[in-house]
Structure 1
């Protein structure tokens, strides 16, 4: 089941369960997907694009929650934390640091990257392999570490 159909089914389930918080988050996801559809002019959002949209929404909620925590607004922070958790359920599982480094080493070996001069080429290749499974900043740190080791 693709992302759009899964979201639609979950919206119906949330309506039946009268789960307003979950319903609002799912409607926000659906809205973002529909915005992407109208922008692209297609009938379906690709898995890659859907994943990117979900990551963006998750990041927005997590950053907002962090700001609310800094400002001492626990009520608003809890709301955004809950929304981020719901969105996170639709994202693939995050990759561990050791596992990520192994993939980075393998990818760098396959493209022949050996120095910091190859950072751009390396990041492009590794980002394609780890799309949605790891944070971009964590990937950059891992690539820098592996390139500096060699």
Structure 2
């Protein structure tokens, strides 16, 4: 699955002497091994769990990059963005904001939500529907906007 693909990519990056790519791939491998060693994952990771691990890594890189950018640390910002680019290669294609909005409108219709009070119900259904295809922050923003 993902681990074998990452291992192959690491070998290719080593041969190509691509330091930035190698850093990103090693971060993915470390996160996968950590997730595998957690309680209940002894048989291996499901595809859904792998996507969650990758999303977490991507989110960490984005947040760090934002902080470094605000502090004018372009050297560290560049490193985070290089790793983020590698991590995003392994994530499913992300939906655009318009596509997310359309799917959430359908979720709101199916749950019968009418106000911000129903946000929890809509968020639960929307997160299941959009798992791996959109980040939680964007989903939350769109739900809040549509229910207001």
TM-score of the pair, normalised by structure 1: 0.88
Map Cα deviations across residues 25-70 of structure 1 (whole Å, 9 max, x no partner): 2111111111111103423211111111111111212222222222
- 1:24 matched residue in structure 2: 23
5+ residue gaps in structure 2? Answer: none
Note the aligned Cα RMSD (angstroms).
1.6
- 1:57 matched residue in structure 2: 57
Superposed displacement of residue 106, structure 1: 1.1
Whether 1:109 aligns to 2:109 is yes
Question: Residue 134 of structure 2 aligns to a residue in which SS?
Answer: coil
TM-score of the pair, normalised by structure 2: 0.89
Q: Where does structure 1 differ by over 3 angstroms across 4 or more consecutive aligned residues? A: none
- Shift of the 37–19 alpha-carbon distance from structure 1 to 2, 3 Å rule, reads same
Q: Distance in 2 between matches of 1:147 and 1:80?
A: 35
- 1:135 matched residue in structure 2: 135
The 10-residue stretch of structure 1 (38-47 or 23-32) with the greater mean CA deviation from structure 2:
38-47
5+ residue gaps in structure 1? Answer: none
Q: Distance in 2 between matches of 1:66 and 1:144?
A: 23
- 2:96 matched residue in structure 1: 96
Superposed displacement of residue 21, structure 1: 2.0
